[in-house]
Copies of this chain bind each other. A is one copy, B any other.
Amino acid sequence: MVTEITLDNIEQLAIGSSFLGTGGEDPYLGSLLCREAIAKYGPVKVLAVDELKDEDNVFIAAALGAPTVMIEKLFSIEDQHRAVETLERFIGRKASAIISAEIGGCNSMMPVAYAAMRGLPIVDGDGMGRAFPALQMTSFNIEGVACAPMTIADEHGNSVLYQTTTGLKAEELSRPVAAAMGASVCMSCYPMTGAEARRAAIPKTLSGAIEIGEAISRSGDPRSPIDRLVAALRAHEYYKDAAVIFRGKITGLERDTSKGWVFGNCTISAMNGAGSAELKFQNENLLVTVDGKLRCVVPDLVTIVDAETAHAIPTERLAYGQRVAVVACSAPPLLTTARALDVVGPQCFGLDEQYAPVATLIGDLL
């Protein structure tokens, strides 16, 4: 169990979060923001989900937008503060702890930087245990916590607060504003009491991301980075049904940035020409087939990693000719219940495929 986030484990968090991001925003820029914040304000205390008191006020710090833009447009803690402050003012309570909405990708980073600035602890947990492209796709929502009131803020001093009847409506009404604000904004949503967060958050995902990042980047271990990654996943409570399901090079890539998201497909062909894998993504990877056979589908995780370093390659960094491996693993159990699949299952992304646990789809590799 990690007890604080320091300058020494930020990089591991970034590497692990990038894997859990399944193609979502690259945490690299966010990790620079984190480094600066920790250097200025000091390390951030990590609080286990079950250490939260009933009366705690748990606030989210997050980015909303299209990855295509996020890799170019920088975030600032001040914009994040405006989003949280507007929400605090409206609900009349001050944050006593910060939590990540999404441990995968760059949304693992801003909460740490923001917690440092506020001198508040960060909760070891999140609302996805991975990354998803839409606001309503959280364990908070699955467990009945309201997304709204929710706020977004841009870099010009503007903020917008939503009071909506559903998380889906918050998503619908905030996406066009985020687009008008430049397709990348800071936000806060799902304000929770400690009691609510204990019930609705997915625990231990912050420390889980650090463990994964540590395994990938560990020196002095004779195994390859990809083998260390798979071993770390298999040792984890949630991600344990894990395997490399394909290796090859990228031979096809389609990306379309519209309505504030990036949609697309990636084709990976075996180096010896024997077979290919096909991935679909909406910000994050949604599913992968190998030679036409389904091998993993949301909410289970599928990430494209560099064949040598095992570092995850975000959707935006995919390029023709890259040598890669495709790693699939199981999602936290909270995401695969019948109730959860109504919120984060394949049909929520307009896919025709039915959900099947990755353990059944890649049983031959486990």
Contacts and interface: CB of A to CB of B under 8 A. Distances in A.
Interface of A: 86, 89-90, 156-165, 169, 172-173, 176-177, 179-181
Contacts of A157: 164-165
Contact of A158 (B89, B160, B169, B181): B169
A161 B164 CA distance: 11
Given A89-B90, A90-B89, A90-B90, A173 B160 contact: yes
A94 B179 CA distance: 33
A181 B177 contact: no
A162 B169 contact: no
A89 B89 CA distance: 9
A158 B163 CA distance: 6
A8 to B, nearest CB: 38
Contacts of A172: 180
Contacts of A86: 163
Contacts of A89: 90
Copies in the complex: 2
Contacts of A156: 165, 169
A321 to B, nearest CB: 39
A177 B173 contact: yes
A161 B158 contact: no
A79 to B, nearest CB: 13
A171 to B, nearest CB: 11
Contact of A177 (B90, B158, B163, B177): B177
Contact of A90 (B158, B161, B165, B176): B161
23 contacts: A86-B163, A90-B90, A90-B161, A156-B165, A156-B169, A157-B164, A157-B165, A158-B162, A158-B164, A158-B173, A160-B160, A160-B163, A160-B173, A161-B162, A161-B163, A172-B180, A173-B177, A173-B181, A176-B176, A176-B177, A176-B179, A176-B180, A177-B177
A80 to B, nearest CB: 15
Which 5 pairs between the two chains have the least Cβ-Cβ distance?
Answer: A176-B176, A161-B161, A158-B164, A157-B165, A159-B163
Nearest to A175: B180
Contacts of A179: 176
